[in-house]
Structure 1
Amino acid sequence: MKIQAQQGDTVDEICMRYYGRTAGVTEAVYEANPGLCNGSPMLAAGQIVYLPDIAPRAQEDIVQLWN
């Protein structure tokens, strides 16, 4: 999937918005987009970013400390 970056976007913000996490996916987005952030962590508004297909992470057990 290809998306356009919004003003002030960073790769990790895009990963959180589309994948719901950054761990393990930010690196994949950088690999799919060589030279994406040359020199600046901020993306240009309207910049095209390719988002690779990434398998959803496994369901984790949730531990509640209080009921």
Structure 2
Amino acid sequence: MQVRAVQDESVDQLVWRINGGGPAVVQAVLAANIGLAGEGPQLAEGRIVTIPDMVSPTAEPVALVNLWD
């Protein structure tokens, strides 16, 4: 999938906006976009970034706590 960066967006923010991914997803995006890490902390507005299709966040269920048990 290819997405367009918004103004002053970082790779972390872009990944979070698109699929809620964390550090592992960011590493996969940087590997798929050679030279992206060398462009600085903020992406240029309109920069096309490739996000690999196989990348998806792995969310683990969180046990809820009830204070009145």
TM-score between both structures, scaled by the size of structure 2: 0.80
- Equivalences for 1:30-45 in 2 at 5 Å? 30-45=30-45
Where does the alignment leave 5 or more consecutive residues of structure 1 unmatched?
A: none
TM superposition outliers: structure 1 runs of 4+ over 3 Å: none
- Equivalences for 1:1-67 in 2 at 5 Å? 1-53=1-53, 54-64=55-65, 66=67
Which is helix-richer, 1 or 2? Answer: 2
Q: How many residues align?
A: 67
- Quote the RMSD (CA, aligned, Å): 1.9
Higher Rg:
2
TM-score between both structures, scaled by the size of structure 1: 0.82
